[in-house]
Chains A and B, each alone.
Chain A
Amino acid sequence: MYFFDPHIHMAARTTDDFRAMAKAGCVVVGEPAFWMGYNRSGTSSFYDYFRQLTEWEPKRAGNYGIRHFCWVGINAKEAEDVGFSREVIALLPEFLERPNCLGIGEIGLHKCTRNEVTTLLELVELGMKTDEQLLFHTPHLEDKYKGTRMILDVLRADSRVNRRRVCIDHCEEHTIRPVLEEGYWAGITLYPTTKATPERAADMVEIYGPERMLVNSSADWGPSDPLAVAEFMFAMHRRGHGESLIRRLVYDNPLEFFSQSRNFQFTPPE
């Protein structure tokens, strides 16, 4: 079965991973801009990173028959420096017009500070001005619930936001309910120790149903698995769920979500 990995950081992965993903059935990846494990020293580092996401990574993926799309933005961790963030935000319009760019992401909160919120508001403002889709990172561990609720508060206060064009990612058992109830797409990230496992993701599907639900590996430079979506498919199959439900979660849903971006051009494989 073909599948999308709608959130993965291939810039931190090897070409061998593209090969393994293609062999497993991956046909599309979505790569949000993120924190590379260290704070960048200047805006030129971001400029080069956005070039990597829009120029180099699509070619690398294309060698294995995978379509590569991306999101650009400044991650929550580096967003603490509001002045620096503004300089990065000024770079975004150029890259939002690149043919593989889906919108602004991943943006959000990390430690839920005032500065992070200030940057987030400015990113949302840009997104509303240029009619972008938005992809939100929610915080880790003990900060997740508070940060997710704060992000929902920010979005609820802006009447311009079309909730069907927004994904709140890294949802877990204590945050997925309000995200779905308020009409957003909910991303579930499959990690070995933090976030969710394939089995827990399958549990959330069984509890809340498949509508507006996305499953991703968010594989990056840390402990993570670029084949995690395939592991989720296997977990669902092993429980006895049908092909149509699994396909909806890993192919039809991300296709529907991505298709709302003006730059998403994709011919499904036969």
Chain B
Amino acid sequence: MKTPLGATEVLDREFLEIRARLIDIAAALDRIDRAEGPVGGDPRLERIRQALQILAGATPHRAEGVQSLFSLPYQDDWRKDYGL
């Protein structure tokens, strides 16, 4: 099932929203930079950078990709570890 709107219509509707959210992200990253204290090694920042790369890429299902990036790994033999 596709969205009834054309791509140009979707872009027209979403452009200002996307722009605003990108500026919010940029401002938040600047805020972290301005604040005192070391966070350079914090893995959350690296994940944010990786998420931005997913957004900038041409691969579809970006939302699913970002969700997966921020997810703990799943191991299908977990029941063995739990003794269940």
Contacts and interface: CB of A to CB of B under 8 A. Distances in A.
B2 A172 contact: no
A117 B82 contact: yes
Given A142-B70, A144-B71, A240-B5, A153 B78 contact: yes
B41 interface: no
B70 A239 contact: no
Interface string A143-163: 111100110010000000000
A183 interface: no
Nearest to B47: A142
B50 interface: no
B26 to A, nearest CB: 19
B71 A174 contact: yes
**What does DSSP make chain A's interface, helix, strand, loop or mixed?**
helix
Interface stretch (A33-41, A47-55, A198-206): A198-206
A192 B45 CA distance: 23
A173 B1 contact: no
A174 B68 contact: yes
B58 to A, nearest CB: 18
A203 B5 CA distance: 12
Nearest to A121: B84
Nearest to B75: A146
B4 interface: yes
**What does DSSP make chain B's interface, helix, strand, loop or mixed?**
loop
Contacts of B67: 144-145, 172-175
A239 B76 contact: no
Interface in B1-55: 1-5
B72 interface: yes
Interface residues of B, number: 21
A243 to B, nearest CB: 13
B57 interface: no
A209 B3 CA distance: 11
B71 A150 contact: no
A192 B50 CA distance: 24
B84 A206 contact: no
Nearest to A241: B4
A59 interface: no
A114 B84 CA distance: 8
B64 A206 contact: no
A239 B71 contact: no
Nearest to B64: A173
Given A144-B71, A172-B67, A114 B82 contact: yes
Given A117-B84, A144-B71, A153-B76, A206 B2 contact: yes
Interface of B: 1-5, 61, 63-64, 67-68, 70-74, 76, 78-79, 82-84
9 contacts: A118-B84, A142-B72, A145-B71, A145-B72, A153-B79, A173-B63, A175-B67, A206-B1, A241-B4
Given A143-B72, A206-B2, 11 more contacts: A142-B71, A144-B67, A145-B74, A150-B78, A153-B79, A174-B71, A175-B67, A202-B3, A205-B1, A239-B4, A239-B5
Interface of A: 112, 114, 117-118, 121, 141-146, 149-150, 153, 172-175, 200, 202-203, 205-207, 209-210, 239-241
